[in-house]
Amino acid sequence: MDNRKTEVMRQWVARWKKAGPELERIRREESVHADLRQTIELLEDAFQSAIRHFPSGPASGLVDQQRWYKRLRP
């Protein structure tokens, strides 16, 4: 990798190191002030669409999970 690419990558990492804590602060603040009822209402159509287009199967997957655990047990 040439020096220019290395320097660009260093600058990119430095920007994210600086932005990361601020973005986390914003995320925490927004989650505290979020209106859960409104959020659920906004996502309701997407949820109903997912249920319609991708219905659940006859099993929850728990039986398969237990089968895998049994195989992994010594």
What is the per-residue pLDDT across 5-26, written as a single tens digit (0 to 9) for each? 999 999 999 999 999 999 999 9
Phi, psi of 60 (to 5 degrees): -85, -15
d(C-alpha 31, C-alpha 46), whole Å: 21
Domain carrying residue 31:
3-72
Average per-residue pLDDT for the chain: 91
pTM: 0.44
Count of structural domains within the chain: 1
**Does the structure show a pLDDT above 80 at 60?**
no
Q: Over range 46-64, report the average pLDDT.
A: 87
pLDDT at 72 over 80: yes
**pLDDT in the model for residue 58:** 77
